[in-house]
Structures are given as C-alpha cells and as structure tokens.
C-alpha cells in the first residue's frame, strides 16, 4: 500500500507569521495608491545596487550588496574597507552551525555599518567540476551539507533584519560560457542534487530573496524558467519571497515576469520599464501579474525595516574593524583548515628553540584572502603566512630564526602596480588620479575627478545614469611611478574600450578596439587580453604613467538578442599591471631550495588566488600554477621535514604527495588567513576541519570529465545523480582524499552505535523520525573536535538505482582526552527517499532495509546498524 503525504509548505518559525501579515498589509496599502508606471518602476533597479524609490508615496529603496564572504557596500571597486571572511568552502569545512552563526554576527554588523538591506548570499550551487572558477564561494559537493549550513546562514542573517539572497537558482556551477550554456540535467539529478540544497535551505529558513542563474536549464534561461520558478519554487515549495535576476541576467520581459522573476537588476532600467508598459498595453501581461511582484518587493521592504524610513538618502558607509570580529574570524578560519596528511607527526610544530624555519613559496609572504569576482573586496587589514608565523614563533621561541623566499611567480596577469612605487600627482598619496569627460576627446574641464588607490581603473561605480546606459565618455588615469630597482621592468594593459598606455609621453601599449574576451584581466571579461611590454627604468627616477581611453561604443539594446557581448553597460575602464625587475627566475627558484636545505623545517605555501579562481573564468587545469609542483618536489629532496600548505578553494593534483609527510588544506581565509594558519601549525588550535569536497587524484577521475564544459553551448550532466563522492563510490575510483576526510592532533574511536527505533514509518503507522547515536572516545592526549558523519544506504534492492551511500546527518563533538561523548543525528523521510522521475514524486520503498553508518569520511565503513522503512510513501514536498 502506498500513501501520499503532503509536507507543510514551510517550516518558517512562528512568530514570523505576524511579521508576514503586517508586511502584506503594508504592501497592499501602498499598492492601492500606485500608478501602473510606479509599479513597473519598482520591478527594476535604480542603480548597480539599489531598487527604485517611489518618493510620492514615501516608499524607500532597498540596498543590496555582495556577500557572502563580506559586505562590500555600494562601490564595487576601491570602496570602503570591510571584514573579509573565510570563503564558503572553508566555512563548510568546519561542519559547524555555531561557527556559521558567529560569522553571520560579523556580516550583520558590517551590513548595518554600510546600510545594506539585502546581502547577496549564500551561494549554494553544487561544485560540479574541480575546475569551476567559483567553487570557493560555494559550500560543498553534497546537497544535504550545503542546504543545512545555508539554512543556518540565512536564519542568522535574517533574525537581525537583514535579508539573505540564496543563489544562483539553479545549477550555476561553471563559469565557462555561463551566459550562454544550456545544461541538460536529468530530472532525478536536478531534484536530488542541484535543487535539493535550495529546497533544504528554503524549508529550514525561508530566505526573503532568491537570485536566478545566468545559464539555461534544459533549454530555458533560469531568469524565465516557468518550471523552476513557478511550478517548483512557488507552487511545490510554497515559497513567496522576492526573486531577483543575477546582474544583467534578465533575458526577457513578459516570460520572466510571468514565471515569477520579480526584480530586474541592476539599474538603470534595461529590459522592463517602457517595454513592460508597452507589453501591458498590448494585453501581453495582466495587471495582476505585475501586482504580485510588486507585493513581494514591498513585503521585503517592510521586513528590512525600510517601511519606517521614507528618506531615500543614505549616510556614509563606515569601515568598522572590531576586536571581537577579528577573534570570530580567526577562530572560524582555523576551524575550517583541514589536516590532510601528518604521517610523520611533524605537526604541531614544537620545540623550535634555536631552530631555523623557512617559509617558502609564492603565497608565503602575500595575502591571498579570497577568490575573485563579486566575492572580492578590500579587507580591513591583511595577514600573510610568513608574517603571522614569524611573529608567533619568535614570541614562543625568541632564539629561533624565520626566513622567507618566494621561489617562483604564479601570477595569471601582471600584478597591479605596487602602491609603494606610485603617487597620485594631485594628492601626493599612493594611487592614481582619474579624470572623466562627457566627450570622446578629453577636451574641456572633466566632469568628474576621482582619486583611486589602485591601478585597476574601473569606470562604473558612481557614474551618472546616462553614462552607464549609452552616453560615451573619455577618461585619463595618471600616476607617478618611481621604481626601487634599475633594470628591465614589465607593464601590461587590459582595456575595455580603445586605450593607450604612456610612460613619460612614450606610447607603450595601444588597444585599438572594444573587447569582450575570456582572457581579459578585467572583471566580467569586459576587456582586451592582457598586453605586456618590457621597459628599462632606473631606480629612484620618477616617471609619469598615463592611461588614456574612451568608453566602448554601445549598441542598440536588442530585446531578442541574448548574447552577453551586446550588454555594453557592465563595465568600462582599464587594468594596468607592473612587475618590477622580474630578474633571474632560475636563481629565485634555487634561492628557495637553498634556504630549505639550510633550514630545520620548511613550510611551503602554494596555491592559487583571485586571478586563477574567479567568477567569469574557470581554471585551465587542476594543477598548481607555474613551477609550484617542481618547487615542492625539489624542496622535499633537500629537507625531510616539509609542511605543504595549499591555499585553494578547489581540489588540486598532488604529484608530490608521496614525497612529503605533511599536507594542510588552508582554503582562502580572508583577512585572518595568516593568523589562522599559524594557530593550526603551532598547535594553538587542534585542527578539526574535514573536506566538504572530494580531492580526486586527477581531473580524468572527476564526475563530469566527459561532459564538461560542453559543445556548442550545450553541456550534458552525464553523471546524473552520481555527483561528488557518490560518483567515486559508484565507479569504485579511489580519490586522493575522500569527502569528509580530515585529521586531528589526537585520535578518536567510535563504539556502541544504536537507534531509537528499528523502523522509520513515514505513513503515520509508527515513528516518522529515528535518532541514531554513537559513542566517541578520545584516545589521544589532547582535547579535540570530531565530526561524526552519518551515511544512509538502502540495503535491499531499490526500485531505482541509488548511490552507495549518502550523507544524511552529522554531529561535531568536543572530547577531552580519555573521555567519551555521544554523537547523534535524526533521520526522517528525507533521509531515505529518492525522486522517481516516472511519477514526479519523492518515494520511500515500503518495507525496505536500510543501514546507517557512523563514519569518519565517505570511504570509511565505520560502524553500521540496520533499520526498516514502513509502508511505501510518495509526496511532492
């Protein structure tokens, strides 16, 4: 017998119902006084980050900001400094709801200091390939872990009156051709893998807003996907928040609105506005459809507190760097660091008195706070592994010696001009003076003069609206460059429109046409490929560096042409790179090896950065950039006490893995990255992080290898439901490091697994939840935290094929030496169900045998115990 069960449309905690009722009343009252033109205006952005106000009715605007690894505020480039958090994958590696809550305290404070109403995060798409440029921003390859942590993130943000925006709906998991790609995803894979983190988070937290993805899913752009937005999101899941487009990601007028896309971002208006009014006049869209979206926006306005603030003028954004925030981020970062290998027990580093410690590598003495793109921002401060390790080591062991060598260069583009060698010719401070004219000839007085702290001269933020939607302009960026050394230096230029780079009046680089190139050094790929030139310069001599350019030629906005090449409004400007005296690369390499040879311990800090792992560009390979692998191998031959620290947000290949005893996965930890690493390496904190993603041995072993990045803008999700660790289990492929793996400075043993019931009956005939418990004993000599993972497997033959095991619970417990504590998790209908694409419902096989395993990682058999399901059950939500 099969029983159909309908789940509640939302698990939203109540008293929130009272808020919803008041929000609805406010929205309906305001709507009743609005003209059609005002309603349509509300459904578009005013500028890059804000919605439109209706001053006549005292309706304020909503301010959004990126998120989710910091609150940038209202300026994309060179804005107010802010707290830089551990990235999403690092937070997921903590497997810790409390840490997510504490980190959100920082985000809430930062949002309030910058008057931000909606934070654009969390990112919950599943990292499909190790090459994904935005993997660092997401949480995990597992939808359960992702959805649960995202729910905690959203609840924590929204409980303080700041809206969260879960994104990108759905399956925005590759940057290659992301504006064009059509993802062919089987129904089961869509439901069980790519929609499930959204479903779990929405069920647990009810986010106020959601952002659609750029890509197509099964032939339809996500911004107008009637099945995803209306049938699944609103009808099946019962969600009634505000859906907004990704920036410049609205691909239609009427279809998107009818599907349930409420807000087109950013502004000024592009697709909607007069075009939506015209569609309404022709009967193509009903007033009720427009009203429904306006109601949702006004309800959001009420929830964020803006209904009480009719003043649409904002105060000045503040940079508030608090000691308590530093502490939270330092602890959060350290708890996300994963000890992958410690076979010689080299860590934690102890008894360093009189020892010489080498901190070597391309990331050793620089801050690699985050990946690139919309997550990138300017931290309150930066720390580096070398600085932090040296400070802490000398504090503990004053007679120790700590030295560093870079060894190799791994930059994808020439670095931005070092602030120490450039001077604004007007203010005398570090940076450039940027002048802009409302003509294409740089003639007359500039209409705007700005002082920029970096050589990334983006012209978008703060421009008058007419200059962001078509009117052309020209600009110059000037700085005085005084190199520290004599020799051949390198300059580079990547420019959006035609541009010329001069040094003391001599033309160095000329870019003659407008560009859109995936090889551009500029964000959103709106620029030329980087062009480099060698220049001989003298130490201490000052040179005038000048970028002279004009904005790109806009094209008529074609409502039927979706190609992102035509969206000329995204960005303009240029990026100037400068590398002083690159010198003898082989000598730098040898200097690093020699330092390692003469040292007692060598800490090699490698990885990638915001140029390699970034929005708009996937990575070319899983390998570390440059000669990183060669450097590690060479150092391991001259020193047998090597600690390899990897800073990436995605898996890498490790051809040197068997040659070293100690490997640490450090991710991107934001402003506290150096201090986090120091705490773990020196033993101030016992590492407890575990991998939220699988590290394959090679790219050929990864699930989508045969189906990425696609052909002719179509990619088939051939791995189906076997994503992440499910694939490696299914194909019996041994990963380099499995999902859930992570070591500690102590050891743990599991025992006495047990269940509250041996039957999970979801049809009302018995318990619809059962609790699994296991005892965890600390068998080492120091306190530590253990993440016990509970995997569920269907033992009896299911009607449809299923993964070998799936994560359905976890518990992070702290255990003192010699003590035993109990880890527990609750299993319910979601833990044992699968999507049956023949009937389009979730299904539990009746009388099926299951087992739940308490394991240390996905390949660990652990301790297992069996239970039965009750009668067959089917449901939609």
Amino acid 584: pLDDT: 82
Residue 699 lies in a domain: yes
For range 326-332, the mean pLDDT:
98
- Residue 106 clears pLDDT 80, i.e. is over it: yes
The string of pLDDT tens digits covering residues 802-849 is 999 999 999 999 999 999 999 999 999 999 999 999 999 999 999 999
Instruction: Out of 528, 554, 577, pick the residue that ends a domain.
Output: 577
- Residue 547 clears pLDDT 50, i.e. is over it: yes
> SS3 sequence, 424-476?
CCCCCCCCEEEEEECCCCCCCCCCEEEEECCCEEECCCCCCHHHCCCCCCEEE
The CATH number of the domain holding residue 564 is: 2.60.120.260
The string of pLDDT tens digits covering residues 404-452 is 999 999 999 999 999 999 999 999 999 999 999 999 999 999 999 999 9
In angstroms, how far apart are the furthest CA atoms of the chain?
A: 87
For range 240-262, the mean pLDDT:
97
Name the CA radius of gyration of the chain, rounded.
28
Whether residues 595 and 709 share a domain: the answer is: yes
Whether residues 407 and 442 share a domain: the answer is: no
Picking from 56, 157, 63, the residue whose alpha carbon sits closest to that of residue 107 is: 157
Whether residues 547 and 623 share a domain: the answer is: no
Q: What are phi and psi of 734, to 5 degrees?
A: -80, 115
Distance between CA atoms of residues 124 and 91, nearest Å: 12
Whether residues 544 and 444 share a domain: the answer is: yes
The string of pLDDT tens digits covering residues 753-782 is 999 999 999 888 889 999 999 999 999 999
Q: In Å, how far are 72, 584, 750, 813, 851 from 753, measured between CA atoms?
A: 46, 61, 8, 15, 11
* Contact (CB, 8 A) for 672 and 326: yes
Candidate from 6-20, 149-163, 334-348 with smallest mean pLDDT: 6-20
In our burial notation (b when 16+ CB lie closer than 10 A, e otherwise), range 542-562 reads ebebbbbbbbbeeeeeeeeee
Is the preceding omega at residue 103 within 30 degrees of 0, hence cis? no
Amino acid 10: pLDDT: 39
Instruction: Out of 535, 559, 577, pick the residue that ends a domain.
Output: 577
- Residue 267 clears pLDDT 70, i.e. is over it: yes
- Residue 513 clears pLDDT 90, i.e. is over it: no
Picking from 141, 145, 147, the residue whose alpha carbon sits closest to that of residue 728 is: 141
Distance between CA atoms of residues 171 and 252, nearest Å: 20
Q: Which residue has the higher pLDDT, 192 or 497?
A: 192
Distance between CA atoms of residues 865 and 329, nearest Å: 38
Residue 405 lies in a domain: yes
Picking from 417, 162, 198, the residue whose alpha carbon sits closest to that of residue 305 is: 162
Picking from 392, 346, 328, 332, the residue whose alpha carbon sits closest to that of residue 689 is: 332
H or E element, residue 351: none
- Residue 92 clears pLDDT 60, i.e. is over it: yes
Instruction: Out of 577, 612, 628, pick the residue that ends a domain.
Output: 577
Whether residues 713 and 773 share a domain: the answer is: no
Amino acid 11: pLDDT: 38
pTM of the model: 0.95
The string of pLDDT tens digits covering residues 674-720 is 999 999 999 999 999 999 999 999 999 999 999 999 999 999 999 99
* Number of domains within the chain: 3
For range 5-16, the mean pLDDT:
39
Report helix, strand or coil for 273. Answer: coil
Whether residues 346 and 458 share a domain: the answer is: no
Distance between CA atoms of residues 132 and 373, nearest Å: 13
The CATH number of the domain holding residue 361 is: 3.40.50.1700
Report helix, strand or coil for 477. Answer: strand
Amino acid 763: pLDDT: 87
Amino acid 78: pLDDT: 80
Picking from 25, 27, 499, 562, the residue whose alpha carbon sits closest to that of residue 248 is: 562
- Residue 559 clears pLDDT 70, i.e. is over it: no
Whether residues 463 and 560 share a domain: the answer is: yes
Whether residues 374 and 485 share a domain: the answer is: no
- Residue 563 clears pLDDT 50, i.e. is over it: no
Report helix, strand or coil for 203. Answer: helix
Amino acid 514: pLDDT: 60
Distance between CA atoms of residues 366 and 754, nearest Å: 49
The string of pLDDT tens digits covering residues 650-674 is 999 999 999 999 999 999 999 999 9
Exposure of 769 by Cβ count < 10 A (0-12 exposed, 13-18 middle, 19+ buried)?
Answer: middle
The C-alpha angle with vertex 105 and arms to 103 and 107, in degrees rounded to 5, equals 75
Amino acid 558: pLDDT: 41
Report which listed range, 73-87, 158-172, 546-560, is most confident. 158-172
Distance between CA atoms of residues 709 and 673, nearest Å: 32
Amino acid 16: pLDDT: 54
Q: Give the CA count within 13 Å in the CB-facing half-sphere of 377.
A: 29
Report which listed range, 14-18, 132-136, 615-619, is most confident. 132-136
* Helix 16-31 / helix 287-303 crossing angle, nearest 10 deg: 130
Amino acid 555: pLDDT: 52
Which token pair is 329? 């981020």
Amino acid 8: pLDDT: 34
Number of Cβ atoms within 10 Å of the Cβ of 405: 22
Amino acid 522: pLDDT: 67
Which residue of the set 182, 246, 775, 845 is catalytic? 246
Pick left, alpha or beta for residue 238 (phi over 0 → left; psi -120 to 50 → alpha; otherwise beta): left
Q: What are phi and psi of 784, to 5 degrees?
A: -155, 165
Residue 793 lies in a domain: yes
Dihedral sign of CA atoms 443, 449, 450, 451 in order: positive
Amino acid 841: pLDDT: 96
- Residue 1 clears pLDDT 50, i.e. is over it: no
Whether residues 566 and 596 share a domain: the answer is: no
Which token pair is 176? 């290659």
Which token pair is 62? 């909503």
Residue 682 lies in a domain: yes
Residue 136 lies in a domain: no
The CATH number of the domain holding residue 841 is: 2.60.40.10
Amino acid 388: pLDDT: 98
Amino acid 197: pLDDT: 98
Distance between CA atoms of residues 429 and 453, nearest Å: 8
Q: Which residue has the higher pLDDT, 249 or 563?
A: 249
Residue 871 lies in a domain: yes
Dihedral sign of CA atoms 176, 690, 94, 386 in order: negative
Residue 590 lies in a domain: yes
* Contact (CB, 8 A) for 151 and 733: no
Q: In Å, how far are 20, 76, 413 from 577, measured between CA atoms?
A: 51, 19, 7
Whether residues 858 and 831 share a domain: the answer is: yes
Amino acid 566: pLDDT: 41
Amino acid 526: pLDDT: 61
Residue 601 lies in a domain: yes
Whether residues 621 and 533 share a domain: the answer is: no
Catalytic residue flag (residue 246):
yes
Enumerate the β-bridge partners of residue 451. Answer: 433
Per-chain mean pLDDT for the chain: 93
The string of pLDDT tens digits covering residues 353-395 is 999 999 999 999 999 999 998 888 999 999 999 999 999 999 9
Q: What percentage of the chain exceeds 90 in pLDDT?
A: 84
Amino acid 5: pLDDT: 42
Whether residues 678 and 794 share a domain: the answer is: no
* Contact (CB, 8 A) for 184 and 168: no
Candidate from 12-21, 183-192, 204-213, 319-328 with smallest mean pLDDT: 12-21
In this structure, are strands 642-647 and 601-607 parallel, antiparallel, or unpaired? parallel
- Residue-range definition of the domain harbouring residue 433: 419-577
Amino acid 19: pLDDT: 86
Picking from 66, 41, 37, the residue whose alpha carbon sits closest to that of residue 52 is: 41
Q: How confident is the model at residue 571 (pLDDT cuts 50, 70, 90)?
A: low
For range 23-40, the mean pLDDT:
97
């Amino acid at each position: 017998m099969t029983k159909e069960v309908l789940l509640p449309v939302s698990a939203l905690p109540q008293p929130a119902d009272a808020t919803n009722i008041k929000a609805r009343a406010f929205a309906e009252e305001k709507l009743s006084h609005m003209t059609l033109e005002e309603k349509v205006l509300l459904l578009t952005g005013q500028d890059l980050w804000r919605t439109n106000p209706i001053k006549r009715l005292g309706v304020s605007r909503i301010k959004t900001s990126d998120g989710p690894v910091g609150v940038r505020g209202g300026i994309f480039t060179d804005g107010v400094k802010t707290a830089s958090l551990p990235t999403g994958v690092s937070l997921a590696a903590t497997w810790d709801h409390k840490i997510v809550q504490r980190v959100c305290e920082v985000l809430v404070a930062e949002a309030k200091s910058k008057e931000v109403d909606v934070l654009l995060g969390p990112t919950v798409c599943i990292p499909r390939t190790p090459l994904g440029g935005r993997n660092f921003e997401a949480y995990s390859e597992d939808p359960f872990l992702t959805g649960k942590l995202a729910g905690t993130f959203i609840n924590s943000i929204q409980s303080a009156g700041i809206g969260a925006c879960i994104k990108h709906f759905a399956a925005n998991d590759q940057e290659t051709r992301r504006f064009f790609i059509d993802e062919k995803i089987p129904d089961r894979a869509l439901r069980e893998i790519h929609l499930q983190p959204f479903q779990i988070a929405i069920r647990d937290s009810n986010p106020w807003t959601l952002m659609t993805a750029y890509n197509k899913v099964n032939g339809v752009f996500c911004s107008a996907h009637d099945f995803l937005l209306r049938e699944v999101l609103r009808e099946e899941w019962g969600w009634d928040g505000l859906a907004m487009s990704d920036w410049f990601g609205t691909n239609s007028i009427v279809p998107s609105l009818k599907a349930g896309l409420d807000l087109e971002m950013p502004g000024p208006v592009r697709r909607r506005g007069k075009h939506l009014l015209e569609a309404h006049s022709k009967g193509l869209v009903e007033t009720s459809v427009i009203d429904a979206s306006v109601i949702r926006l006004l309800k959001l306005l009420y929830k964020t507190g803006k209904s009480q603030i009719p003043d649409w003028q904002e105060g000045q954004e503040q940079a508030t760097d608090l000691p308590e925030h530093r502490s939270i981020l330092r602890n959060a970062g350290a708890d996300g660091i994963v000890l992958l290998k410690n076979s010689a027990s080299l860590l934690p580093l102890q008894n360093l008195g009189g020892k010489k410690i080498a901190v070597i590598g391309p990331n050793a003495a620089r801050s690699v706070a985050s990946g690139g793109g919309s997550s990138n921002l300017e931290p309150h401060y930066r720390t580096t592994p070398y600085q932090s390790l040296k400070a802490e080591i000398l504090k503990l062991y004053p007679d120790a010696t700590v030295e560093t060598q870079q060894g190799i260069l791994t930059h994808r583009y020439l670095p931005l001009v070092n602030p120490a060698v450039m001077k604004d010719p007007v203010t005398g401070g570090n940076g450039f003076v940027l002048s802009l004219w409302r003509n294409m000839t740089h003639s007359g007085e500039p209409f705007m003069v700005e002082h920029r702290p970096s050589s990334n001269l983006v012209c978008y933020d703060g421009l008058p609206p007419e200059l962001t939607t078509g009117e052309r302009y020209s600009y110059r960026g000037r700085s005085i460059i005084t190199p520290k050394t004599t020799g051949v230096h390198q300059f580079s230029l990547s420019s959006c429109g035609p541009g010329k780079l001069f040094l003391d009046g001599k033309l160095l680089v000329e870019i003659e046409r407008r560009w859109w190139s995936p090889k551009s050094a500029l964000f959103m790929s709106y620029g030329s490929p980087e062009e480099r030139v060698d220049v001989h310069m003298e130490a201490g001599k000052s040179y005038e560096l000048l970028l002279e350019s004009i904005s790109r030629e806009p094209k008529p906005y074609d409502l039927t042409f979706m190609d992102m090449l035509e969206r000329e409004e995204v960005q303009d400007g240029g990026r100037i790179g400068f590398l002083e005296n690159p010198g003898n690369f082989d000598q730098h390499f040898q200097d690093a090896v020699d330092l390692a040879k003469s040292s007692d311990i060598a800490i090699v800090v490698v990885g990638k950065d915001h140029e390699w792992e970034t929005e708009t560009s996937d990575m070319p390979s899983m390998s570390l950039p440059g000669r990183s692998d060669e450097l590690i191998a060479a150092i391991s031959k001259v020193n047998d006490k090597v600690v390899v620290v990897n800073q990436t947000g995605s898996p890498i290949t490790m051809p040197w893995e068997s040659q070293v005893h100690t490997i640490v996965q450090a991710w991107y930890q934001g402003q506290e990255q150096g201090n986090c690493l120091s705490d773990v390496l020196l033993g101030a904190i016992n590492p407890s992080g575990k991998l939220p993603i699988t590290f394959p041995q090679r790219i050929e072993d990864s699930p989508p290898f045969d189906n990425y990045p696609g052909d002719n803008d179509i990619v088939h999700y051939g791995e189906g439901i076997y994503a992440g660790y499910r694939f490696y289990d299914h194909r019996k492929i041994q990963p380099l490091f499995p999902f859930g793996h992570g070591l500690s400075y102590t050891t743990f043993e599991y025992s006495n697994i047990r269940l509250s019931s041996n039957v999970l009956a979801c049809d009302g005939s018995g318990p619809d939840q059962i609790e699994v418990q296991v005892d965890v004993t600390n068998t080492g000599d120091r306190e530590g935290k253990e993440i016990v993972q509970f995997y569920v497997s269907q033992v009896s033959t299911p009607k449809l094929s299923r993964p070998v095991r799936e994560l359905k619970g976890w518990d992070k417990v702290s255990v003192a030496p010699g003590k035993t504590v109990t880890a527990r998790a609750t299993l319910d209908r979601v833990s044992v169900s699968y999507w049956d694409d023949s009937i389009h419902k979730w299904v539990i096989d009746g009388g099926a045998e299951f087992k739940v395993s308490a394991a240390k990682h996905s390949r660990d058999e652990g301790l297992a115990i069996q239970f039965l399901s009750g009668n067959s059950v089917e449901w939609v939500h």
